[in-house]
Amino acid sequence: MTAPLAHQRFRFVALPEDQGKRLDQVLAARVPDLSRRKARVLVDLGGVFVDGARVKVAGRAVRAGQTIIAHLGGALERATKEVGASARARDEAQLPPFRVVFQDDDIAVIDKPAGLVTAPTPESDRGNLADLLRRALGGELFVVHRLDLETSGLVVFARTAEANRILSERIREHAVERTYLAVLAGTVDWEERTIDEPIAGRRAVSHASVLERLAPGATLTRFRLETGRTHQIRIHARHVGHPVLGDRKYGKPSPIDPPRLSLHATRLGFVHPRSGEPVAFDSPLPEDLATWLDALRARGPSC
């Protein structure tokens, strides 16, 4: 697998000689290896901020003294190298489809495919699940929590400000059930384990249990999150010496690498923000990972 372009952030202040020039012209001159054409694409993606505000007009005149921040990364790499409505439509047509598992007036539970960003990022405000869902359902939509680009599975959005407040509070209180399936590198020698290891100075706790040891040297594991830090399972898996297979950031290439990151949000449970009743949703492993696992099983059990 080819590694995605790492996120890079370039910050600079417009000089007197930049006064009155087009934004894409200034970007191409000040950001290393960024052509004028790529600068226009980056602006169109929403990866450029001027004095703290996202700017999407490449021809906007720059004023001396303005602070310009450009976010380069995977979004630019994945985008059609054109701008405008037709280019955005082509980009969206290439996105993997998502499935609405449940919706009512308060929430929408979605089965997110790998390869689809959950919400806008500094790199881009287009081609993300929140934007697509907002247009599909209409009305307000609030991002309660996120899944990584390469992670598939269940995610909930709020459709009212009150539902967002309640669900966000339950996330902070760790009162939401979030269970993942992950295939770890190597043969794990424990059956259950609680991993209590801070991430970025904040408490992070994961509860892991082995479901199946696969050949050669892979272990299907269930993770239940007690906290929800960024990349928590991936970091905790690396911490115990068994990174998630297919993880290009925290793991290493393997001859049995899956078609993508082998991490799937399989169960999501919480108290409904309006009714007060507990609800829970399940999602089996998607076909790409299930087929890969079957091929591993065909080799026989791991020792």
Q: For residues 163 and 216, give the distance between their C-alpha atoms in angstroms, rounded to a whole number.
A: 45
Instruction: Name the helix (H) or strand (E) containing 92.
Output: helix 85-93
| Catalytic member of 18, 91, 148, 257 | 148
Q: pLDDT tens track of the chain, all 303 residues?
A: 444 456 799 999 999 999 999 999 999 999 999 999 999 999 999 999 999 999 999 999 999 999 999 999 888 887 766 666 665 666 667 789 999 999 999 999 999 999 999 999 898 888 899 999 999 999 999 999 999 999 999 999 999 999 999 999 999 999 999 999 999 999 999 999 999 999 999 999 999 999 999 977 899 999 999 999 999 999 999 999 999 999 999 999 999 999 999 999 999 999 999 999 999 999 999 999 999 999 999 886 654
Predicted confidence at residue 87, as pLDDT, reads 58
Q: What separation in angstroms does the CA of 223 have from each of 182, 192, 206, 219, 263?
A: 7, 10, 6, 12, 10
Predicted confidence at residue 7, as pLDDT, reads 79
Is position 148 annotated as part of the catalytic site?
A: yes
Q: For residues 198 and 201, give the distance between their C-alpha atoms in angstroms, rounded to a whole number.
A: 6
Predicted confidence at residue 91, as pLDDT, reads 65
Predicted confidence at residue 56, as pLDDT, reads 93
**What is the CATH number assigned to the segment(s) 8-92?**
3.10.290.10
Global pTM value = 0.84
Predicted confidence at residue 265, as pLDDT, reads 98
CATH architecture for residues 99-297: 2-Layer Sandwich (3.30)
Q: For residues 272 and 75, give the distance between their C-alpha atoms in angstroms, rounded to a whole number.
A: 34
Predicted confidence at residue 235, as pLDDT, reads 98
Predicted confidence at residue 80, as pLDDT, reads 63
Delimit the CATH 3.30.2350.10 region(s) of the chain: 99-297
Predicted confidence at residue 221, as pLDDT, reads 98
CB under 8 Å, gap of 24 or more: what pairs does 83-87 form?
83/40, 83/41, 83/43, 83/44, 83/58, 84/44, 87/44
Predicted confidence at residue 5, as pLDDT, reads 55
Predicted confidence at residue 291, as pLDDT, reads 97
Q: For residues 246 and 263, give the distance between their C-alpha atoms in angstroms, rounded to a whole number.
A: 9
Delimit the CATH 3.10.290.10 region(s) of the chain: 8-92
